[in-house]
Each structure stands twice: as C-alpha cells, then as structure tokens.
A and B are shown apart, each in its own frame.
Chain A
Amino acid sequence: MLDGSEATRLLATMWIIRHFEERVGQLKRADEVHGLIHLSVGQEGTAAAVCGQLRDDDAVYTGHRAHGHAIAKGAPPERVMAELMGKESGLCRGLGGSMHLVDVSHGLMGATGVVGGNLPMALGSALAARLQGSDAVSVVFFGDGAVQAGHFNETINLAALWKLPLIFVCENNGFAEFTPRSAHTVVERVSDVVAPYDIERDTVDGNDVGAVWDGFGGFLEAARGGSGPFLLECLVHRLRGHYEGDPGKYREAIAADEWQKQDPILRLQRLGVEQGWFGEDDCAAAEREAVEAVDRAVEFGRESDYPAFELVAELTYADK
C-alpha cells in the first residue's frame, strides 16, 4: 500500500514528467527538440509507480514513448532534455534521441523505436540475472500495439517456459499509433492474450497510481524471490497524439471535466489531501518545483554543445 512519503515522492516525479512532456511539445513546435517525439502526457502514473519501486540494478526496457520512464527510473531530466536536443551532454551524448534513451547507471537498459523489439531483450537481462545469481529483476514497458507483434508471443512463450523474473508492463492506451485496438485484434484485454501460458497477471486502472503501485509491488516482491514472469496491464489514457504533429483526426478529445476526474496526478493529489499525506499547498509547491526543474533542464540543454562528428565513428564499435 502506498504511504505518505511514497505518495509525496511519486507526486513530485509525476509533475516533473507532466511538465517535461508539455515543454517538449512546445520545444518540438519551436524546432528545439528533434525527430519523432512521442509524449506520455496522461500516462505518468505507470512510470512513477513502477520505476519508483525499482533498484538501480533492476533492468528497465522501454519503447518509443520513453521520456517518463527514463525520468522515473532516475535519469536526470536535464540530460534527457539535452538528449532530445541532440547535445553532447545528453543521456546518450546526442546519438540516440527521443526513442533511444539509455541510462545504464540507473538501470535503463534500452529503449527501442521498433515496436516489440524490447521484449526479448528484457528477457535476456532477466536470464543474465539468473545466470549471475543476482536477485535483480527485469521490467519491460510496451504499449498494446506491441502485443500483435511476433516478438510478443515469442517472448511470452520463452519467459513462461524459463520462468524468469521478468515483469511485463503493458500501458494499454487503447490506440496502436493512429487506430484503436479494436481495429487490430479481437482480444480486448492484453492480460487475456497470455491466459494459456498460466502467467500471473492483472489489469489495473493505470490512472490510479495506488492501484499500479500495489499491482506492480506484489509482482516485484515475487520476482525478487526468483519467480516469474508476470504481466501487469495498466489501462491508461494517452492525452496527446501518437507523435507530436500527427494528423490527430482519428480520435475525439476527452472532455476536460472527464479528464479532471481521471488525471492520475490530480487523483493522487485528491487522495493525498484526503488521507492527510500532504496539503494543497504541498501539491502546488510540487508542481512549482517541477516547472523550475524543467526550466533548468531546458537551459542546460540550450547551453550545451552539439557532439563532434568524430564521435560517430568512434562509437560505431566498442573497443573494450
């Protein structure tokens, strides 16, 4: 169960992700961040509640919608922002960009732009942990769109066969790129897709941070003890398009008052105030601090230099 200190920490993380993403959207329109930008506005609860329970030596793999996962796993926001700007001080020295955030020191082991490609790699890290006798777990974030990829079935089968400590976290936002899930498959719930494999699984309201915290926490404890795999499906709402600047004609915007009810940040704030974990002033302060942190991140990125071209050849092959 979420307690006051954890809720306070998660709230701070979620506000940073929210404002980071909103700012990235603005910077994309101003051509200060580059390439294909996929925002996770509205999905902050899963990133915070999952990564907030992990250790630095637990491996996290994510996909193209990765900024929130990176920040929640401990990547400094200023280095994520510098990466999106293509700067040398970025998380990946400006060579990866938005879809390829990696921060090995915090266990962020990979983000792939090829939907589903991260699934078997996460299983590989879980296999490494077992072979090394470590109690580290591996977590992979993916969207409902990845479930229809061949890698998903292959990886679920292998994970179940080898019983590895891997936790699959599906952020089901109901849309695979531009089209709703119903246009891709007849199986509505991702947790139903894996039913024959006898994998312990759950579907939770991803806008309810406490539910994600509890659902994931239970799986994590078991995985830490060597069990696995597990699948947690989080039903979330992607407030923005598939990527920034996409045509966006394919969906209707959620009504503002309905979103006020669902917004995982506002829900956590209402819960925290009700529980006496923090006051409304604390909530406002958390948001203000997040805005300031994002301001600093933008400044850091703007003041950083682009990498030298020679770095490309230097890093094509590893020398040790």
Chain B
Amino acid sequence: MTRITYVKAINGAMAEAMRSDESVFVLGEDVAEGGPYGTTAGLAEEFGVERVLNTPISEGAITGVAIGAAQSGMKPVLEIMFIDFITLALDQLANQAAKAHLMSGGQLSVPLVLRTQGAAGQRSAAQHSQQLESWLTHVPGLKVVMPSRAEDAAGLLLSAIADPNPVVFVENRVLYYRAEEVPDDAGPVPIGEAITLRSGDDLTIVATSRLVSESLAAAERLASEDGINAEVIDPRTLVPLDLDTIVESVKRTNRLVVAHEAVEHGGFGAEITAQAQAAAFDWLDAPVERVGASFTPVPFSPPLEDRWRPGADEVHAAARRALG
C-alpha cells in the first residue's frame, strides 16, 4: 500500500498513460505549469511542452482542437480548469464530440478525455463552485465519470484514456489533498462499475464525489446512534450507470437514499431514483429520498455557503426519513 492524495493519483495516472502510449498528450490552460492545483505538475518536465500544451483561455476552441486531434488518431487529455467553464466548451462537447461516431455512421471516433473539477465549500462564489455533471449525463454519446477516492481516480482515468469515446472526468478539488491508502499497481478501474464501500442490510445510500465520504460518516452515525446498518455505494461512473449493483442492494435493504452535492432539482440523483424505483418498485418500503443542494446559486458568504452545501447531516436526516 502507498499513501497518496487524489491529486497525485490523477497526476500519476496521466504520467503512466503518457509513458505507455505516444498518442496521449495533455492540453489546457496552464497545464505545463502544473495548473492551479498541481494536477499536471511535472508532466511538462518529463514529456516536454509539445505533449503538455499550454493553451490560451479559449475553452471552445481547445475543446475543438482536442476533438479534431482525437479524430486524427491522438488521445488528448484536455483540462477545463473549472466545470463552471464547461459552458464555453459545450457546443464542441455536445454537438461535435458526442455525435461524431453516430453521425459518421461509425467512421469517426473521439477518444478524448475532458478532465474538469467542481466543488463548493471554498468561498469561490457562484461561478466557481458548481456541480454540473447532470448537464453532461443528458447527452448521449458522452461517458461521465466522477471518482470520489484516489484509487478510483487513478484507475478510472487510465480506463478513460483507453476508452474510444469522449469521457468527461469530473474531479472534486475539495478531495484533492486528502491522503488515502492505495494498493501498489492497482491498475485500471473499469468504467461503468459501481463499488460498495460499506455493507449493510437496513438502507442503501448511493452517493457521488464528496458526498461519498459524507455518506460513510452518516452511516457510522446511523450505526452508533440509531442502530441502523447502512450500505454505501459509489457508482463512480454516471454514464454508463451500474444500475445492477444499486438494485441488488435495494432488494436487500428496501430503502434508498441518493446523495450528491449538485442542486437536487434536475440533478443526476433524479435519474438514479427513477431507474431504481422502476427496477425495484416492489421491494421499496418507502419513497426514495434525495439529498442535494437547494435550487439557488451557490452563495459566497461563508456561513451561507456552509448551510447551502449538503453533507453528512443531510444524508443522516434523509436516511431517518426513509426509515420512517
């Protein structure tokens, strides 16, 4: 085992992919300098600035450049510094990358990884704190990956780079510097496989990104205070979604809570909820409970942001509601 942070895991996976495949290259704003969080630190030194390309602040064009390069045989790893800026890349991502394979009758493929990150909780205000993954999950042709742990971040990034489709890889900067034990030579994690991080028979909690550790904390509290044994599942990939793991769990526990940091309204939790209840309606003993942020922009003022941002307390309360 090695003790490693989420950001180091991502950095290491990119370096590993670049060492083993000449067609992998990195581009984005300030990537040769390591970026604001150090995700690409050291790559330019090892692989040169031709393969670690700094770009101007032109999210639309650099996304298009990455798509064109991918169509022409390269495997670009594009960084969009904040998921809030994906607005500027969406035409290329949704209209070009996601549709190229289908619209060309299968002639083109776009093996592109778009890495980005989003998180509230750092007083960054409403344009630098969003979780917008549900916009991307609504576009057929894109895969959407959202790791919560260092081990998964590394393994899923390797799989994303090897994937022949455009993969949006949504990181969380609040998790970047948490140190975790990771097995040596853990290898790739398959896209589309959930992981059960805590086993239990009374309640299923499906959570993504930062809400995974919050849900594990809520589960500990449920066990110690309420005598409830909760199962916690991280889907890790939103598209394609491993519904089987969720449904198998719900059929045992009969109760489901779905938790994410994004705004609850129209969030991906609604999709998980709908799919799970359709597949396991007869096994559910209570309505599915959702945890997400309120339907407002993220407030700047620290006490307001803290209250806005869902966490273990909200997951615990939702579990209590689901238990009746």
Determine if chain A interacts with chain B. Answer: yes
| Interface residues of A, Cβ cutoff 8 Å to B | 59, 61, 90-96, 100, 102-104, 109-110, 112-114, 117, 119-129, 131-132, 138, 150-151, 154-155, 157-158, 161, 312, 315-320
Stretch at the interface among B95-103, B127-135, B225-233: B95-103
Which of A102, A117, A121, A131 is within 8 Å of B51, CB to CB? A131
Q: Count the B residues whose beta carbon is within 8 Å of the partner chain — how many?
A: 43
Residues of A within 8 A of B143 (CB): 317
Task: Note all chain B residues with C-beta closer than 8 A to A109.
Answer: 68, 71-72, 108
Nearest residue in B to A99 (C-beta to C-beta)? B103
Given contacts A103-B107, A131-B51, contact A124 B58 (CB under 8 A): no
Give the chain B neighbours of A124 by CB distance below 8 A. Answer: 64-72, 76
Is the CB–CB distance between A157 and B56 below 8 Å? yes
Q: Digit string of B107-126 for contact with A (CB within 8 Å is 1, else 0)?
A: 11110000000000000000
Residue contact B60 to A120, C-beta cutoff 8 Å: yes
Instruction: Please tell me if the beta carbons of B104 and A151 are within 8 angstroms of each other in the complex.
Output: no
Chain B hits for A128, CB < 8 A: 68-69, 72-74
Neighbour of A158 across the interface among B50, B65, B74, B140, CB < 8 A: B65
From A113, A124, A127, name the one whose CB has the most chain B CB atoms within 10 angstroms. A124
Contact A90 B105 (CB under 8 A): yes
Given contacts A121-B96, A157-B56, contact A316 B108 (CB under 8 A): no
Q: Which residue of B lies closest to A149 (CB)?
A: B60
Contact (A121, B71) CB under 8 Å given A151-B64, A318-B165? yes
B61: interface (CB < 8 Å): yes
Let me know if A94 and B72 touch, CB within 8 A. Answer: no
Which residue in chain B gives the minimum CB-CB distance to A132?
B73
Chain B, 174-195, contact with A by CB distance < 8 Å: what is the 0/1 string?
0000000000000000000000
Tell yes or no: B200 within 8 A of A by CB. Answer: no
The B208-245 residues at the A interface (CB cut-off 8 A) are none
Cβ of A112 and Cβ of B96 under 8 Å apart? yes
| Least CB distance, B56 to chain A, in whole angstroms | 6
Whether A110 and B100, one on each chain, are in contact in the complex, defined by CB atoms closer than 8 angstroms, is yes
A103 to B244, CA, bound (A): 39
Q: Are A123 and B164 in contact (CB under 8 A)?
A: no
Contacts of B104 in A (CB 8 A): 92, 95-96, 100, 102, 104, 110
Q: Which of B71, B91, B103, B109 contacts A125 (CB 8 A)?
A: B71
Q: Which of A90, A91, A125, A151 has the most CB of B within 10 A?
A: A125
- A110 CB contacts on chain B under 8 angstroms: 68, 71, 96, 100, 104, 108
A235 to chain B, nearest CB (A): 26
Q: In the complex, A165→B61 CA distance in Å?
A: 17
